[in-house]
Structure 1
Amino acid sequence: MGYELKQSDILDLAHTLDGRTRQKGDELFFQYCPYCHGGQSRDKNTFSVNLQTGTFHCFRSSCGRSGHFVELARDFGYQLDFGENWREKKFKRLPQKEITVRDPAVEWLKTRGISEETTRLYHITTRKKDKSVLVFPFYNENHVLEFVKYRNTDPQRIKDHGKEFCEKDTKPILFGMDHCQGFERLVITEGQIDSLTLAECGVKNAVSVPTGCKGFTFLNYIWDWITKFSEVVVFGDHENGRITLLDELQRKLPIKVKAVREEDYLGEKDANDIYQKYGRQAILTAVENAQVVPVKCVKRLSDVKSVDLSALPKIRTGLQELDQIIGGFYFGQVILLTGRRGEGKSTLLSQLDLEAIDQGYATLIYSGELADYHVKNWMDLQAAGPDNIQVNYDENNQPVSSIPADMLHKINEWYTDLAYIYDNNILNDDSSELESLLDTIEASIQRYDIKLICIDNLMTAMDAMPGEDFYQAQSQFVKQLKKLAVKYDVVVILVAHPRKTKEAISNDDVSGSSDITNRVDVVLSYSRDENNSGWDGTLSVLKNRLTGKLTPKGQEIKLLYSGKSKRIRPASSDKGKVYGWEMKERMQLMNLDNMKSFHMEEWEDLTDEL
């Protein structure tokens, strides 16, 4: 009876060898080729097995291994069912006779700190005809000899034939299984000398792997036994800042896996080196101090610093009612601003930008719809305020707002190193080195210490970075914005249009991918009020991830709009905003008046004396 291909066998072997696989059609791709392991460059996903035909192939030209799954299983010791009595024929049946421990083995192991008692307890010997080759017998938990490993001790033989080799066709299991008692803790090392070292120091249940740090097929044959242990401590070799065996055992075993701490290696490579240099207690300390390997992106809740949310740094919006609801724009947040076309989202955005500038934060604006001079003109008018704006009339007798040159100069000086704008003209260049918008934002954050990014709007921003799947690209774009916000502790305000044009806007109405509102922290909706109810527009909080506070229906924030200055202010307040440039001017005038008064008093005192 021959072997019948089973997808379950392919998947099981994949789990044993790698575990990190992905399926594309009928092809199962391994993260790394089991033969070449991706080469020096660690190339990924170059090896696949066809789930229908069983053929495998490595696409790396320097490897190029190919064949049938049966051969793959043979090469890596995976047991297949070829019919009756197959399991009995798969592995060589070793003679179960008493092993004579020879003196050369005892003497050589003494040079590594292993006593004669431990050597004899584990039946370590040498070949009868070649005393320079150590013999390590592997007994299972039932004291049955199933695997044999050899180690050359003569330097010339190591140079010619390698250091270690195994008895052909024997079942790979763990060395030391027959000395394990109970199932509380199992300590696994890479080499047999290391597990003997642990036994020498009194560490219970110390074992070592059969074929080095890259062979894990032994798990197939001891799975029921090893998974009975409450925990495993990995005491592999410490090489290049990593501990061998750890990653694979952590990924494959469904039980708690601990690792010896890097600092407990005391600068040495393995357990035997530690023992020979620092003694027994160093080994015991290393095992006892072993820690659970943390799951990536998971930490103890108790390790999280307690934070007063109200004390977190943030940018105030300048709209008191909004700040009372959302607390302000917290650093690390992405804010989505939506509203119908032409109703003032860009105006509100530029004013929010000015508020950040007034608090001393550098800002960056991307406008895909307005020319840079248009953006600047509106922001200058908002910064100036209605009391500092002149109104003239054009040839069509339409009012035109303008700012006196001296005031405009002061406004420009005020935000010189705080206000930046993305140069849309660069999009007309044919340069092949054009950076993506996200790259430009990140570079600007790093170079200019930007703390607020205003993107107007999502649709035009996506035009600047086209993708194959537009909705997926939108979702990824917002995801990357969130990563930038968290990474650099900045605020991002993103404008997006709604789908609907008449009814009240909800989170589900934002145009584009429905995933957008899921990724942001705050959703604001701005709209004009067409009922002429004493205010010009309303602002609604549709989502507020930090505090959960929203604006109930009918209790939206009421706002007034000034066509002269383009400013938006709360309808509940009649106070006009005085920005930093004007405040500075007023303070200078006040100081000048104080100086005049002071000098006048001095003059009067002087004339009295005369």
Structure 2
Amino acid sequence: MSYELKQSDILDLAHTLDGRTRQKGDELFFQYCPYCHGGQSRDKNTFSVNLQTGTFHCFRSSCGRSGHFVELARDFGYQLDFGENWREKKFKRLPQKEITVRDPAVEWLKTRGISERITRLYHITTRKKDKSVLVFPFYNENHVLEFVKYRNTDPQRIKDHGKEFCEKDTKPILFGMDHCQGFERLVITEGQIDSLTLAECGVKNAVSVPTGCKGFTFLNYIWDWITKFSEVVVFGDHENGRITLLDELQRKLPIKVKAVREEDYLGEKDANDIYQKYGRQAILTAVENAQVVPVKCVKRLSDVKSVDLSALPKIETGIVELDKLIGGLYFGQVVLLTGRRGEGKSTFLSQLAVEAIDKDYPVFLYSGELADYHVKNWMDLQSAGPDHIIIHQNKYEQESFSLDNDTIEKINRWYGDRAYIFDNTVLDADMEETESLTKTIESSIQRYGIKMVCIDNLMTAMDAMPGEDFYQAQSQFVKRLKKLAVKYDVVVILVAHPRKTKEAISNDDVSGSSDITNRVDVVLSYSRNEKKSEDMPDQCDSKLSVLKNRLTGRLTRAGKEIELFYSNMSKRVTSLESPERTYRWEINERSELLNLDEMKLFEAEEWEDLTDEL
């Protein structure tokens, strides 16, 4: 009877051969072509099977394999149901007679360190009419011969016909099943020589797979038997930094899977190589040291370092009331600063940057709305403070503020290698060659040791990152920022405008993707005090609310917001409990003057002593 195409068969074979697939329309793409494996360049997603017609094709010109799924199944040993009586006719019945072990097999295996005793115990022989072909009989747990594998030992035959081949239409099972006793531990190798090596070294329950590292259909026929074992140790070939068989067996088997540690291969490829170079004990050690393969993204709680949360490194904001609530700006966190347009978020952000610089933490600044000289001007004024600011009046009696060149130079030296700003002009001039903003941030963190990243604001930052759906891009952008914060132990402050203009702002009011506030650690809301009047100058200019605080959980309550005061001259934002700030550039200047005075005094005293002696 003919075969009727089933999508389940295609998916099952894909799962068996690769497991990493993606579907586009009716086409199921394999990560790697099962015939060419992507070639030397390991090209991905070049092989597909049509789920409706069953046709397959590799799009690599050097491969170009094509055909029907039935042929693909045949080529990789996947059994298809061709009719009602298929299961009865599926496999060839092999003659159950005693195998004569021939001397050429014994002598060849001795060259690989396998004794005559093990060769005879496992019934390894050669073909009767061709002594250069080894014969490996596969017996099931009931000592029934079900599969036969052949191995060419003559180099010329290997070159002409390949190294290994199997008896047609025989059931694929594990080599060595008939020698297994109990169900405590099963050790699986890729090649028969390797499982014989383990047996030679006294390792119990050593088996090997029938058709190499790509074929796993044998699991269908030994499932009830193999799942009885309490654990499986994978001793595959160590190739390209990976252990063959491991990923698939770990994914497919519902029992504990261990793997020989990479260091226990001692630089060799497989068990037989290890044995021939380092001896029996190296094999026993490798098996005994095998470790459970961890589930990705999972670790034992006991392996997590215990940390005193109150002692975590952080940057204090300079606003005492805020530091009391959130503890400061902790490294590894993303802080979202929101508030209506024009109410002071950027000013507050730049002051937080000044605080970080004063504590020797390098800062990266991104401003999508302000020119770099505007950002610097405000930070210069905040750094200088009122004692160094020059007040000017124009003809309309309006005040403006500046610093003298000497003060600016001293502040620039203080900034030094602790302050960097994104160059918008490069982005505008050469958009295609410019890295995305997150790549630029990461490179800056790596190169300049950045510890605080300030992004003003989310909307303009997205303009620097073309592509993707806008709201999805926002969510992914914040996700990437969080990964950078954790990976490099930095604090990221992100400004975002609220969606609404009502009086009180909540987490849900942040403009853009609804899950932005879910991804960040702290949400701060900065708002102007609308009730302040000219008749009451002592009233606060603005208020700061803590809407989310993942680390300590402390929030501001309605009517208990942090009151802030803004100086139009110095651009500084202070609070009732915050002391007047004197930054280190000024302290250093005073120290230099003090040291100079001391030196002059010392020189004067020395001169007086000298004149007395004269």
When normalised by structure 2's length, the TM-score is: 0.93
AA matched with 2:561: E
Question: Which residue of 504, 529, 541 corresponds with 1:536?
Answer: 541
- Whether 2:571 is the aligned partner of 1:566: answer yes
SS at 1:417 equivalent: helix
Q: Are 2:291 and 1:291 equivalent residues in the alignment? A: yes
**2:208 paired residue number:** 208
SS of aligned partner of 1:263 = helix
Alignment of 1:125-524 (within 5 A): 125-430=125-430, 432-524=432-524
The alpha-carbon distance between structure 1 residues 345 and 466, as it changes in their structure 2 partners (threshold 3 A), is: same
Which amino acid is 2:162 matched to?
Answer: G
Shift of residue 65, structure 1, vs aligned partner: 2.4
User: More displaced, 591-600 or 239-248?
Assistant: 591-600
Aligned to 1:585: 589
On the 8 A contact 2:180/2:205 being kept in 1, the answer is yes
Say if 1:76 and 1:217, in contact at 8 Å, map to a contact too: no
Shift of 1:406: 2.8
Deviations along 1:158-200, one digit per CA (max 9) or x if unpaired, are: 3433322211222211111112222221111111122112122
Q: How many Å separate the matches in 1 of 2:607 and 2:117? A: 107
Q: What code does the residue aligned with 1:96 have?
A: Q
Distance 1:600 1:253 in 2: 88
Q: Is structure 2 residue 109 aligned with structure 1 residue 109?
A: yes
Query: CA shift at 1:271, angstroms?
Result: 1.9
Contact 1:558-1:572 at 8 Å conserved across structures? no
Contact 1:105 1:126 in 2 (8 A): yes
Q: Distance in 2 between matches of 1:365 and 1:267?
A: 47
Counterparts in 2 of 1:435 and 1:235: CA distance versus 1, 3 Å: closer
Q: Which amino acid aligns with 2:591?
A: M
Question: Which ranges of structure 1 fall in alignment gaps of 5 or more residues?
Answer: none
Aligned pair in 2 of structure 1 residues 123, 606: CA closer, same or farther (>3 Å)? Answer: closer
Q: 1:467: how far off?
A: 1.8
Q: Hey, what's the Cα distance between the residues in 2 that align with 1:153 and 1:599?
A: 94
- Separation (CA, whole Å) in 1 of partners of 2:574 and 2:471: 35
Give how far 1:273 is off.
2.8
Determine the C-alpha separation between the residues in 1 that align with 2:416 and 2:120: 82
Query: Does the 8 A contact of 2:319 with 2:577 survive in 1?
Result: no
The TM-score with structure 1 as length reference comes to 0.94
Going from structure 1 to structure 2, the CA distance change for 1:130 and 1:529 (only over 3 Å counts) comes to same
Separation in structure 2 between the aligned mates of residue 309 and residue 395 of structure 1, nearest angstrom: 56
Would you say the 8 A contact 2:32–2:45 is kept in 1? yes
Q: CA deviation at 1:554?
A: 2.6
SS in 1 for 2:220: helix
Q: Which amino acid aligns with 1:548?
A: G
Per-residue deviation, residues 495-542 of structure 1 (Å, max 9, x unmatched): 110101123111111111122222222211111111228211111122
CA offsets, 1:458-503, max 9 Å, x none? 1111112222311111122222222222333222211110101123
Q: Distance in 2 between matches of 1:485 and 1:454?
A: 12
Residue by residue, what CA displacement relative to the aligned partner does 1:36-95 show, whole Å, maximum 9, x if unpaired? 222222222222222233232222222222232222222222222222211222222211
* Structure 2 residue 123 is the aligned partner of structure 1 residue 123: yes
Once the two structures are superposed, residues 343-377 of structure 1 have per-residue CA deviations (whole angstroms, 9 ceiling, x without a partner) of: 00000011111111111122221111112222122
Query: 1:569 Cα shift?
Result: 0.3
Give the equivalent residue in structure 2 for 1:85: 85
Q: Is residue 16–residue 215 contact of structure 2 (8 Å, CA) maintained in 1? A: no
SS of equivalent to 2:52 = coil
Q: Name the CA distance, whole Å, in 2 between partners of 1:605 and 1:104.
A: 106
Task: Please tell me the residue identity of whatever aligns with 1:515.
Answer: D
Judged with a 3 Å threshold, the aligned counterparts in structure 2 of structure 1 residues 588 and 198 are, in CA distance, closer, same or farther, namely closer
1:565 & 1:298 partners in 2: Cα distance?
Answer: 50
Aligned partners of 1:241 and 1:367: how far apart in 2?
Answer: 44
Does the 8 Å contact 1:333/1:482 carry over to 2? Answer: yes
Residue type of the partner of 1:543?
K
One-letter code aligned to 1:258: K
| Per-residue Cα deviation, 1:356-399 (whole angstroms, up to 9, x for no partner) | 11111222211111122221221111112123223222122212
CA deviations on 1:250-307 (whole Å, 9 max, x unpaired) are 2332222111122222333322233333333322222111111223332222222222
Helix, strand or coil at the partner of 2:487: helix
Q: Aligned partner of 1:241: which letter?
A: G
Q: Please say which of residues 65-74 and 454-463 is displaced more in the overlay.
A: 65-74
- Counterpart in the other structure of 1:41: 41
Measure how far apart 1:326 and its partner are: 1.7
Question: Does the 8 A contact of 1:363 with 1:450 survive in 2?
Answer: yes
1:547 aligns with 2:539: no
**Unaligned segments of structure 2, at least 5 residues:** 533-537
Identity %: 85
The question of whether the paired residues in 2 share the 8 Å contact of 1:19 and 1:252 is answered with no
Instruction: Give 3-state SS (helix, strand or coil) of 1:49's partner.
Output: strand
Summarize the Cα distance change of 1:319–1:124 in structure 2 as closer, same or farther, 3 Å threshold. Answer: same
Q: Structure 1: how far apart are the matches of 2:152 and 2:425?
A: 71
Q: Relative to structure 2, which stretch is displaced further, 240-249 or 285-294?
A: 240-249
The structural deviation recorded for 1:219 is 2.0
CA contact (8 A) 1:16 1:220 kept: no
Change over 3 Å in CA distance of 1:41–1:381 after alignment to 2: same
| Alignment partner, residue 71 of structure 1 | 71
Counterpart residue type for residue 580 of structure 2: G
What one-letter code is carried by the residue in structure 1 that aligns with 2:585?
Answer: W
For the residues of structure 2 that align with 1:495 and 1:461, how far apart are their CA atoms? Answer: 10
Whichever residue aligns with residue 242 of structure 2, its letter is R
Q: Which 10-residue stretch deviates more, 56-65 or 596-605?
A: 596-605
Number of aligned positions between the proteins: 609
Instruction: Tell me whether 1:525 sits opposite 2:530 in the alignment.
Output: no
| Separation in 2, partners of 1:428, 1:157 | 64
Question: Partners of 1:196 and 1:416 in 2: how far apart?
Answer: 67
Q: Does the Cα contact within 8 Å between 1:335 and 1:494 map onto a contact in 2?
A: yes
